[in-house]
A and B are shown apart, each in its own frame.
Chain A
């Protein structure tokens, strides 16, 4: 009965809303607004462009901060175009004396490279309290006392805002911040090796540092980075490093106004969690107006945005797909973006199907519902989703997920022929085609080497297969049979998985960060794969910290790892196997601790070359070496499948650009219509529950009444 009371209350409350759809998680008043709805599963740790380095952080700050360059939205292969720069940076090579050189001259003589960057004048920052000034021109909020902050919980609560023009100094200020001891930029060490004077600046800052007190970076000069005038600056890097252009497109090199840094440095604000890490200040198309990591983050159109136009160039297919319909229009189109916290997969997917999120990936659990393969093996959507007007976009990611072998391990590693054969045997036995089909629903392609598709130097077809694991039979790639792996095992000294010399079974240790429900199945699968060769795989699950430490100490044998490209250049992959980058020896990214002098030599040549035919052939040689040595079992390149509702326009997967938001457009009316159509509440089951409950108590009541009457008589 109490239950039924509750249900009655529930119905009452719900019908009190008066809305046609009851399960709308957003305020009803927003139904017809030009808002994009998205989600985040974990709060971004840092929104400071000097620190942020993961994709979920980029998804947000790339809309706010504008680096010098950006990737063209539609054109492939990926190419850089100016963003806040007027044109591409001017590149000047200099010899050790600092004299400018002709481009064609000998590479060995290049001692420095200058990048001269001219930014467009007239760009203004978003309105922000850090810029707010009073009549005298003093900053309003740069000396806040705690009492003045009553009622201020978010950045939008400040009554006054201001803005100013973007100048070249702002970029220089940000580069200095990369080595600020209080900032901890992840690329500080890396950039010190390239940018002239950066490590000197780092030392000076370290020396001048008073613990607990922030340093004023404006008081320090940086030798290699100079402002030439108000709108032009020059970065000087050591040697030749063509990939530096790509770095210029990353948020690390976006402008940072010193006013903002000083503003956010105030203790009183930090206590209210109002920091640069939470409320970025940029020139981009959007600005963060609400950042409640516990619930939602909101981006709003920046009223001071300098204006940009939808690209009018694209691939041929883009015109057919309607991606060029908006060519030349002023962007951004969308007024507001709401990211809601959604930790679990299931509610997210359900809300997407109900129309409350505009786009979605496909988890393996919703895959069957969403995707059907056609008879030819092409992917398509199920009728169910097609009827809803949902469309599917796929693309192979520029990532590689591999199984690494620790080359320092006496059994698996070392330079011995036996260990190599063992690794090759494992590479054949672990059937990643099956892995992709079971655990990823076929959303991935097996890696034939280190380079994913779309990266320069990748070769397709017969030439591009890994001959140690695959055969090319009748125009198709076939994994070698298990028999060959067993022969290799035997040659390696482990016939049937038993070590010939000792008669003991071979046991390998597999370190993993085991969490989540799916992992057990995965780990079982891996165990089965190794067992095919008679190898017993012992799985050691640990937490991420312990795993990292094991990797650093080289105290591991087999592990899974992945790499996501920072920029579309083969150097960004091959350096993962470069000897001097060893995880144990140098704390670098070479997690397998692979070291091969020939490979290292080729890498050093390849890395600074322009993409020529010669570079291509060097890359093939390098691939050949690592395929033979198999320090990795080149797992797979994941394929992303994304779903978009019919009202979601102008979407083209772009793996390099993170600032796609400004190109997108939403058909608000259609969305409102569909939501109403899809979300009619069903009430009859509730009513029937009530009736059943009522029916249950009725006889008892009658019985009671009869007793009472009998007693009264």
Chain B
């Protein structure tokens, strides 16, 4: 078990290295450091000299991959690629192209992202399962029929509509919550209600449908029939047998997405101007701040891989039949 986990973690390194090389290829094919400098220095009165200085200050004056002027290992280490990516593996993100420290920004922006993502996940899960259980409970009645139809319909609506309409109705028409913004501590609650609600509603269609089929699969199994034959009430069967067994795949599925929660939601955060990592990424894309985008790509990949490892572990913990070698 321990050996397996260690092997999985070691496997992450070549993956991350691959991610790094890929992002570097992409970003430096797009933008030469000169362009970045011009972008960051602003519009009026930018001189060639200022650009050189800017590059030097941020370590962009070196060659990209191969430094022909250095000695020994310097060929490889004194390059933009090495200096910019080696630190990432230690989670030292360095400074953004606009000059701020990325690490401390990420630390700060992580919390608002989590403050939305975690309640969305929990409430969403609760809502989805509740709805799915209801549909299974009332199966082959009009509730299931209409439930499925509503689910498919809700799935077919773009998330953007939920956000635009939610903001319009709740924020502008009903005047229940502030339209956008964020605050720290308990004050944050009133800002979070609407985005969380919209997050839950927009995921409801796909989620409830998915859990419904999961539960239905379980309902058809023999042990359920036996339990029902024993004379247990439908409610008992559903809750103490079906739901409990169905929870295993549900929970292991969630483990995979847990680490990604840190990355925040791009669209929701920018609509509600919540200062999380999602809006951080979008801003960086729009401002072409490649240092931040690189860091976020790396972070995202690392978290994704963490999710994979965690899923594997969760499976072994939950289901002893899966043998790890």
Contact present between A and B (CB < 8 A): yes
* A residues lining the B interface (CB < 8 Å): 1-3, 5-6, 10, 13-14, 17, 22-25, 27, 45, 53-54, 181-182, 184, 186-190, 211, 270-273, 275, 277, 292-295, 340-344, 346-347, 350-351, 354, 356, 543-546, 548-549, 587, 589, 679-683, 685-686, 696-697, 699-700, 703-704, 708
Enumerate B28-85 residues with CB–CB distance to A below 8 Å: 31, 35-36, 38-50, 53-54, 56-57
Give Cα A356 to B179, complex, Å.
Answer: 11
Q: Please give me the 10 A-B residue pairs with the lowest Cβ-Cβ distance, nearest first.
A: A2-B127, A294-B275, A2-B130, A25-B178, A347-B180, A545-B35, A347-B179, A700-B143, A25-B181, A186-B45
Interface string of B169-184 (1 = CB under 8 A from A): 0011111111111110
**Contact partner, B35, options A272, A549, A700, Cβ 8 Å:** A549
B156 CB-CB contact with A under 8 Å: no
Report chain A residues within 8 Å CB of B200: 3, 6
Interface pair A351/B174, CB less than 8 Å apart: no
Residues of A within 8 A of B129 (CB): 2
Known: A22-B175, A700-B141. A342 touches B273 (CB 8 A): yes
**Which of B104-112, B215-223, B251-259, B309-317 touches A?**
B104-112
Whether the pair B181, A340 counts as a contact (CB closer than 8 A) is yes
Nearest-CB residue, chain A, relative to B35: A545
Could you tell me the distance between the alpha carbons of A462 and B137 in the complex, rounded to whole angstroms? 83
Q: Find residues 227-265 in chain B having any chain A CB closer than 8 Å to their own CB.
A: 233-234
For the complex, give the distance between the alpha carbons of A344 and B271 in Å.
7
Report if A350-B98 is in contact (Cβ < 8 Å); known contacts: A24-B178, A343-B270.
Answer: no
Give CA–CA (A346, B166) in the complex, Å.
Answer: 13
- A10-B193, A13-B189 are contacts. A294–B130 as well, Cβ < 8 Å? no
In residues 120-163 of chain B, which contact A (Cβ within 8 Å)?
A: 123, 126-131, 134, 137-138, 141-143, 146
**CB < 8 Å: which of A682, A686, A697, A708 contacts B134?**
A697
Q: How far is the CA of A273 from the CA of B138 in the complex (A)?
A: 57
**Assembled-state Cα–Cα distance A546/B39 (Å):** 10
**Nearest A residue to B180, CB-CB:** A347
- A14 contact set on B, CB distance < 8 A: 176-177, 190, 193
The distance from the CB of A334 to the nearest CB of chain B, in whole angstroms, is 21
**In whole angstroms, how far apart are the Cα atoms of A340 and B36 in the complex?**
28
In the complex, what's the smallest C-beta–C-beta distance from A508 to chain B, in angstroms? 25
Among A10, A346, A680, contact of B175 (Cβ-Cβ < 8 Å): A680
Known: A589-B44, A697-B143. A23 touches B177 (CB 8 A): yes
Shortest CB-to-CB span from A427 to chain B, Å, is: 26
Within the assembled complex, what's the spacing in Å between the Cα atoms of A14 and B186?
A: 12
Q: How far is the CB of A121 from chain B (nearest CB, A)?
A: 35
Q: Which residues of A contact B142 (CB under 8 A)?
A: 699-700
Q: CB within 8 Å of A: which residues of B?
A: 31, 35-36, 38-50, 53-54, 56-57, 98-101, 103-105, 108-109, 123, 126-131, 134, 137-138, 141-143, 146, 167, 171-183, 187, 189-191, 193, 197, 200-201, 204, 233-234, 270-273, 275, 279-280, 288
Residues in B whose Cβ lies below 8 Å from that of A549: 35, 38
Given contacts A23-B176, A184-B53, A341-B181, list 14 more A-B pairs with CB under 8 A: A3-B127, A5-B130, A23-B177, A25-B180, A186-B42, A190-B45, A272-B101, A292-B275, A294-B280, A350-B172, A351-B178, A549-B35, A700-B143, A704-B137
Per the bound structure, the CA–CA distance linking A411 and B32 in Å amounts to 31
- Determine how close the nearest CB of chain B comes to the CB of A296; give it in whole angstroms: 9
Q: Are B104 and A23 in contact (CB under 8 A)?
A: no
Contact residues in B for A24 (Cβ distance below 8 Å) = 178
With most chain B CB atoms within 10 A of its CB, the pick from A184, A272, A340, A354 is: A184
* A22 contacts B177, C-beta separation under 8 Å: yes
Residue of B nearest to A21 (CB): B175
Who on chain A is nearest to B49 by CB?
A: A189
In the bound complex, how far is the Cα of B182 from the Cα of A246, in angstroms? 40
CB pair A350–B288 under 8 Å, yes or no, is no
Contact A23 B178 (CB under 8 A): yes
CB distance from B155 to the nearest CB of A (A): 16
Partner of B54, one of A184, A273, A342: A184
In whole Å, how far is B273's beta carbon from the nearest beta carbon of chain A? 5
Q: Is the CB of B56 within 8 A of A273?
A: no
Partner of A272, one of B42, B104, B234: B104
Minimal beta-carbon separation of B220 from chain A (angstroms) = 20
| A1-B130 CB under 8 A given contacts A679-B175, A682-B175 | yes
A13-B193, A23-B179, A272-B104 known; A343-B174 Cβ under 8 A: no
Q: Which A residues are in CB contact (< 8 Å) with B182?
A: 295
Contacts of B201 in A (CB 8 A): 3
| Interface pair B47/A189, CB less than 8 Å apart | yes
Distance in angstroms between the alpha carbons of A271 and B47 in the assembled complex: 28
Q: How far is the CA of A189 from the CA of B103 in the complex (A)?
A: 34
- CB neighbours (8 Å) of B104 from chain A are 271-273
